[in-house]
Amino acid sequence: MTVILDGKKLRDKIFADLKSKLDKMPVKPTLAVVLVGDDPASQIYVNNKKKTAESLGINSVVIKYPSNISENELLSKVKELNSDKNITAILVQLPLPEHIDKFKIIDAISPEKDVDGLTPYNSGKLFTGEKPYVYPCTPKGILLLLDEYGIEVEGKHVVVIGRSNLVGKPVAQMLLNRNATVTVCHSKTKNLADITKTADILISAVGKNVVGEKYIKNNCVVVDVGIFRDNEGKIRGDVEFENVSKLASYISPVPGGVGPMTIASLMLNTVELAEGTKALRQ
């Protein structure tokens, strides 16, 4: 029987634990979120982050700028947040307007306040197999979900579709650090189905409907990271859930799979930065 990887259930469990931990913390962590421009999706994400943080007892500050803010002004703000002792975690909501070099902005965040784990320091630590301050939220959420269901990755062939700095590359590296054999595919990959059909675990992070039943072998573990709206405005993942779930041993739904785990990881990271702990097994 196919098991659903229930991200909502695990998120709620993580939140309950975090809440009782936060209730006992004499000084609460403070998450600063910087939002540039008026992209509606980014505004929703930022509001959700703020609401969720506050519901758990984490302080949160949202700093909003118009899309025409200069790169230097934004850099100055990041530096100010770095040296502000009341701020324990910093997140710059992506995407940024085109005139701003996102790498320059991310590079400027103090690694010990880098709640997304995206600075060169933290991603460098991840890639050398050392401990970063925190792991990037979505990859961390995926591994927490696999751990929760007792899915061992050592020695397994994991195929990751997508190679972004946010999801594909870090999740591939985290799995490699746990002794999986990892293949990373992308838009230029030829004969994608021939590769994905060899996967014991398939992680798809594309944002398009790419994974049908011909893409997986029997009993594969399928993790769907993608989120997009179809022509009817319905939220969809990369995977054709109906057909693929008949073959998979475990599968994450969209919504309700990786999405809730990303926000859970963000909250975990915020607390971990404030107290120097780690929820994820190394």
206 counts as binding ligand NAP under rule CB under 6 A:
yes
259 counts as binding ligand NAP under rule CB under 6 A:
yes
Q: Which of 175, 179, 139, 145 is nearest to 3 (CA)?
A: 145
205 counts as binding ligand NAP under rule CB under 6 A:
yes
- Among left, alpha and beta (phi > 0; psi -120 to 50; other), residue 249 is alpha
Stretch that binds ligand NAP, among 24-32, 122-130, 146-154, 187-195 (CB under 6 A): 187-195
Per the CB < 8 A criterion, the answer to whether 158 and 180 are in contact is yes
Element (H or E) spanning 106, and its range? helix 102-108
CB of 22 to ligand NAP, least distance (A): 22
214 counts as binding ligand NAP under rule CB under 6 A:
no
163 counts as binding ligand NAP under rule CB under 6 A:
yes
Q: Which of 53, 64, 51, 52 is nearest to 29 (CA)?
A: 53
Q: Which of 183, 179, 201, 151 is nearest to 282 (CA)?
A: 179
- The burial class, CB within 10 Å (0-12 / 13-18 / 19+), for 114 is buried
Stretch that binds ligand NAP, among 23-31, 63-71, 144-152, 224-232 (CB under 6 A): 224-232
Q: Which of 50, 93, 169, 224 is catalytic?
A: 93
Instruction: Respond yes or no: is residue 93 known to be catalytic.
Output: yes
* Number of chain positions touching ligand NAP (CB under 6 A): 26
225 counts as binding ligand NAP under rule CB under 6 A:
yes
CB of 66 to ligand NAP, least distance (A): 24
As a whole number of angstroms, the distance between CA 165 and CA 177 comes to 17
262 counts as binding ligand NAP under rule CB under 6 A:
yes
As a whole number of angstroms, the distance between CA 5 and CA 10 comes to 9
166 counts as binding ligand NAP under rule CB under 6 A:
yes
Q: Which of 116, 200, 224, 238 is catalytic?
A: 116
Active-site residues, by number, are: 49, 93, 116
Binding interface with ligand NAP (CB under 6 A): 138, 161-164, 166-168, 185-189, 192, 205-208, 210, 225-228, 258-259, 262
